[in-house]
Amino acid sequence: MAPEIDSFILYLATERGLSSNYQLSVRRTLETLADWSQKNNHAAWRDLGVQELSNFLAHQKSRDLEASSLRICVVHLKIFFRFLVSRRYLEADPADPLLAPKTASHLPETLHTQHIVTLLNSIDITAHLGRRDLAILELFYASGLRLTEICKCRLETLDLDDGFIRVTGKGNKTRIVPVGDRALEAIDDYLVNERPDLINPKKPLPSEIFLSIRGGALSPDRVRQIVKQRAAQAGIEQNVYPHLLRHSFATHLLEGGADLRVIQELLGHADIATTQIYTHVDQKRLNKIHKDFHPRA
């Protein structure tokens, strides 16, 4: 079963241009299926029908996988078996009838505006790495970038004069995102007064904007640590993580009257339905205001 998996992953990388993280996620699903199949005496993909795939999903559910993870698993199976049929490995698609489980809708967490102010104002830029960390947090909140997008930001993608940054997001899709004045000031201060000291003269000049103390690009795990540490130092008890700043960016834009289509473009969502979850957050706020202030609420 391995050759078909390898062929499909190569297809995702070269023809679909999907990210390495997505490729890894798909590979995990398919290798888990292959392992389960062999343990259940199914030696090849043609041995799997709708019932076998349903049994596999039931097995995954018995391992306490959440509905959201099972939905992703179903998507992986559908696109893989569709590929096998298109390349004539199989005559019929056994995954086509599969139905993805419904997931409960969870409203995204956000930080209150005052907590954002507290977080950003708490960073001492005269302390070691203060300018870098402030620039990272300001950019997160000013532009709503994903964690991986922050880590991959390069000097040539940033336009300090016009206040824009070019970002390559999911599916290798590029978008232009405006950067607020406060974030631009913080980034400029960091580039002039701190980044040069982080460059390792023994290594090639890095093009990434945000550098580690060793002069290389910051890893996602390290940026996640920075966000959590800075929030704890600011005395914020809420669990603060990079995506929370992205949610806060979108929610605060909507509360300020921004058009949902504009927010979709800024976030890099392919589907407006993904962005619409923020309308529920705003409705919740409006309901609270109505109940608090309307005499007959």
Q: What is the mean pLDDT of residues 19-35?
A: 92
Q: How confident is the model at residue 63 (pLDDT cuts 50, 70, 90)?
A: confident
Alpha carbons within 13 A on the beta-carbon side of 37: 20
Q: If you search the block for the tokens 């003269």, which residue do you land on?
A: 201
> Catalytic: which of 27, 59, 61, 243?
243
In one-letter notation, the amino acid at residue 18 is: L
Task: Using the predicted structure, report yes or no on whether residue 285 has a pLDDT greater than 70.
Answer: no
Q: Which residues pair with 196 in a beta bridge?
A: none
- When computed from its CA atoms, the radius of gyration of the chain, rounded to whole angstroms, is 23
Tell me the three state secondary structure of residue 154: strand
Tell which wins on pLDDT, 199 or 105.
199
Q: How confident is the model at residue 8 (pLDDT cuts 50, 70, 90)?
A: very high
Nearest to 245 by CA among 125, 151, 112, 122: 112
Q: Are 79 and 73 in contact (CB under 8 A)?
A: no
195 catalytic? Reply is: no
At residue 104, the pLDDT reads: 56
Percent residues over pLDDT 90 in the chain: 66
> Catalytic: which of 61, 175, 222, 269?
269
128 catalytic? Reply is: no
Alpha carbons within 13 A on the beta-carbon side of 103: 13
Q: What is the mean pLDDT of residues 41-69?
A: 88
In one-letter notation, the amino acid at residue 294 is: H
Nearest to 157 by CA among 141, 137, 177, 172: 177
At residue 158, the pLDDT reads: 96
The CA–CA distances, whole Å, from 229 to 133, 147, 158, 197, 221 equal: 10, 16, 26, 22, 12
Task: Using the predicted structure, report yes or no on whether residue 32 has a pLDDT greater than 80.
Answer: yes
How far apart are alpha carbons 247 and 15 in whole angstroms? 31
Task: Using the predicted structure, report yes or no on whether residue 224 has a pLDDT greater than 90.
Answer: yes
> Catalytic: which of 76, 146, 230, 252?
146
278 catalytic? Reply is: yes
| Mean confidence (pLDDT) of the chain | 90
**Structure-block tokens of residue 102:** 């419904």
The pLDDT tens digits for 118-160 are: 999 999 999 999 999 999 999 999 999 999 999 999 999 999 9
246 catalytic? Reply is: yes
At residue 295, the pLDDT reads: 67
How far apart are alpha carbons 134 and 221 in whole angstroms? 17
170 catalytic? Reply is: yes
- The CATH architecture that domain 2-86 belongs to is Orthogonal Bundle (1.10)
> Catalytic: which of 195, 246, 247, 252?
246
Q: What is the mean pLDDT of residues 7-20?
A: 90
Contacts of 242 (CB under 8 A, 6+ apart): 140, 146, 147, 150, 223, 224, 227
> Catalytic: which of 59, 61, 170, 285?
170
Tell which wins on pLDDT, 200 or 296.
200
The pLDDT tens digits for 241-276 are: 999 999 999 999 988 888 888 999 999 988 887 888
Q: What is the mean pLDDT of residues 164-175?
A: 89
The CA–CA distances, whole Å, from 234 to 13, 129, 219, 227 equal: 42, 16, 23, 11
At residue 1, the pLDDT reads: 83
46 catalytic? Reply is: no
Q: How many other C-beta atoms can be found within 10 angstroms of the C-beta atom of residue 127?
A: 9
At residue 69, the pLDDT reads: 84
Sorted by where each begins, the domain ranges of the chain are 2-86, 113-292
| Two domains, one topology: 2-86 and 113-292 | no
How far apart are alpha carbons 239 and 146 in whole angstroms? 17
Tell me the fold of 113-292: hpI Integrase; Chain A (1.10.443)
